[in-house]
Structure 1
């Protein structure tokens, strides 16, 4: 994990900066690798119904939309972002311990919401520290970030194996272990001094930039966020559904890992993909695949079929994300980029929370056929993306064409 192109980072970089950031990226992914697929399984083991599961999962998403930007402002102003990482990790661990003492709806909802609030800034602030290293010392962001994805895959596979042995009882101890690792790596995180640029989530707290009022940018961000939100039912109820089909914990872990691994491959070969396909092609194709993906989930396609559908995450998330991030670079000036990222964070958080809340009712009423509703959500996002492409100006400020060559 050296600097880009094998060069040596300039003097002044903290020792083992890239390795330490890779560890900081990995720790929260250990938590996510257990919590994202298997926390609903623990809720189900408490005899929560589908409505209650949807509410418990959705409310923290709403709260973090507001707490993460405030934490970002604090991190940018205190002069050392890593200090906020420590507090985020410690408070998250405290809420994880409190969940051991909770087994009814309202205490679980309250504590898990608090956990969402204090955990929310950890990854965005880590991203901000990593990007500072990229700008100041020419480190390779991708080589630091993909260790988090590998940690997620490992945690999901181990979580699947443990769920086969212990069911939902394994969730809290596993998540608590992940939070302990977060505390440890937060203490190890590089200290790089006062930031030179605001982090995206702190930029959101002070309001979006006027350049973000461009219709094509707004429609693109809304459309991509809606397609992301169409994954809500998968995140909330896929493990519960696959268990009803008789899949083992190891098989469920494999299915979740397949999606993340496919996503990693797209990020690894992002440069080659961008050379071969236009940004709009990557975004539009990802949206179209999302619409189709959710149409197939209600069918009992077997383990192999769901494995293939999970691999489509490479397009329904990674392809869209790469396209959107690069379009932001093209359409928004550098001094406004943090605000653009903040607005994207806001849209993703709000739409995902709404979709997760609705998923609880939809799954309770229609079971796996609720995925048809997710296809409608993805189609709505697709429509916004097509509108964004239609509304784009004929040329960029630099004079370059914004046609498919972009």
Structure 2
């Protein structure tokens, strides 16, 4: 008699379906992150106004995503929230076709940020439920989202070469249609057995291990390093187009960064075994400082392509190490709250940095990236401080399966 599979009891084709679901919001991000600022610039908005339009939704989603997470966790099926998120996001995108001025766009894009904010975290939560209940491979499911992002940026760059910023809203509309379809094919797994990270942020226990100084300094530090990417997200495509790069070139540059990130994730297990987690965080943070110092220099396409590959260190290696460190230092019953706090710090610091980048790019142009190196340096200082106050390995309680 054949032994039952680990995935016995899972919804049919769970891994394939959730991988496809995750591809949909990554297609949205693959269009919006590089090219939405270009569309805003075609409307003759100033760099300061572009910064505000991009920053305000980030502030809003920090507070709307946890509320949506609580609602989703209390429902019988979290996919219901995904459906509403996709539909409302699609409606706000269609509404953008009817306007071309600053205030209506700010209102609609902020509203879109609010209703779209829970889509990725809730999809992640459903994916992780599959990992916990039926032992599916998280990496193999998550990988398809990164590939979808690369595909979207390449298609977006190709379309931008023909139609410029005019292609952004039609492409975003098509991508949001995919989020609605994704919500409809999401596996039904019933009520969650533990809270989603964005829902758990409001329920940190009084004696939480999250309040340990090394954990707080680590989360603040890596969130600052992540926030130092804000000007890159907001103005890199605009800058490269001003340098004469085609839409396809911009798509390739963005794709290179994500591809480097994927390669780093593939070797995550080997890295954790070989290197100290704090050393990985310090190294990645240091690379981030150097990346934004180098960015204002005119290095040509090949130089920027090499610089984009540093994303493997300025994001991926840091994310790998901080998640592994949270497994070591945070009690299991507080894991969801830890992820929620990580989401909160990342959102707040990124929103502030994006707002500031609008001023910096308006005043100093590409030299404003030096400000981002200062933000990354502040994050590096926090990470180093966290390492200094962290207890030694011998003094830490060991957790079962902490290596995974």
Q: Shorter-normalised TM-score: what interval?
A: over 0.9
Within the candidate set 258, 268, 271, 1:270 is matched to: 268
1:12 CA displacement: 1.4
Task: Report if the CA contact (8 A) 2:7-2:136 is conserved.
Answer: no
Q: Deviations over 1:46-96 (max 9, x none)?
A: 100001000000000000000000000000001211111111101110111
Match of 2:288 in 1: 290
Task: Report if the CA contact (8 A) 2:92-2:111 is conserved.
Answer: yes
TM-score by length of structure 1 reads: 0.96
1:92 aligns with 2:82: no
CA distance in 2, matches of 1:396, 1:214: 17
1:147 aligns with 2:144: yes
Match of 2:255 in 1: 257
Counterpart of 1:58 in 2: which secondary structure? helix
CA distance in 1, matches of 2:61, 2:158: 30
CA distance in 2, matches of 1:304, 1:242: 13
Match of 2:228 in 1: 230
1:17 aligns with 2:14: yes
Counterpart of 1:190 in 2: which secondary structure? coil
TM-score by length of structure 2 reads: 0.96
1:292 CA displacement: 0.4
Within the candidate set 51, 56, 59, 1:54 is matched to: 51
Task: Report if the CA contact (8 A) 1:14-1:190 is conserved.
Answer: yes
Cα distance, 1:157–1:208 mapped onto 2, change above 3 Å? farther
Match of 1:241 in 2: 239
Within the candidate set 61, 65, 73, 1:64 is matched to: 61
TM-align CA RMSD: 1.7
CA distance in 2, matches of 1:204, 1:14: 29
1:358 aligns with 2:356: yes
Match of 1:310 in 2: 308
Match of 1:334 in 2: 332
CA distance in 1, matches of 2:190, 2:395: 34
Cα distance, 1:146–1:208 mapped onto 2, change above 3 Å? farther
CA distance in 1, matches of 2:336, 2:227: 22
CA distance in 2, matches of 1:117, 1:187: 21
Counterpart of 1:196 in 2: which secondary structure? coil
CA distance in 1, matches of 2:69, 2:181: 21
Match of 2:165 in 1: 168
Task: Report if the CA contact (8 A) 1:208-1:340 is conserved.
Answer: no
Within the candidate set 180, 196, 200, 1:199 is matched to: 196
Match of 2:29 in 1: 32
Within the candidate set 48, 53, 77, 1:80 is matched to: 77
Unaligned runs of 5+ in 1: 1-6
Cα distance, 1:78–1:166 mapped onto 2, change above 3 Å? same
Task: Report if the CA contact (8 A) 2:204-2:334 is conserved.
Answer: no
CA distance in 2, matches of 1:75, 1:400: 33
1:10 CA displacement: 3.2
Aligned residues: 398
Cα distance, 1:207–1:106 mapped onto 2, change above 3 Å? farther
1:272 CA displacement: 1.3
Match of 1:379 in 2: 377
Cα distance, 1:397–1:94 mapped onto 2, change above 3 Å? farther
1:112 CA displacement: 0.2
CA distance in 1, matches of 2:46, 2:161: 22
Match of 2:131 in 1: 134
Task: Report if the CA contact (8 A) 1:232-1:352 is conserved.
Answer: yes
Match of 1:3 in 2: none
1:243 CA displacement: 0.6
1:11 CA displacement: 2.2
Cα distance, 1:133–1:400 mapped onto 2, change above 3 Å? closer
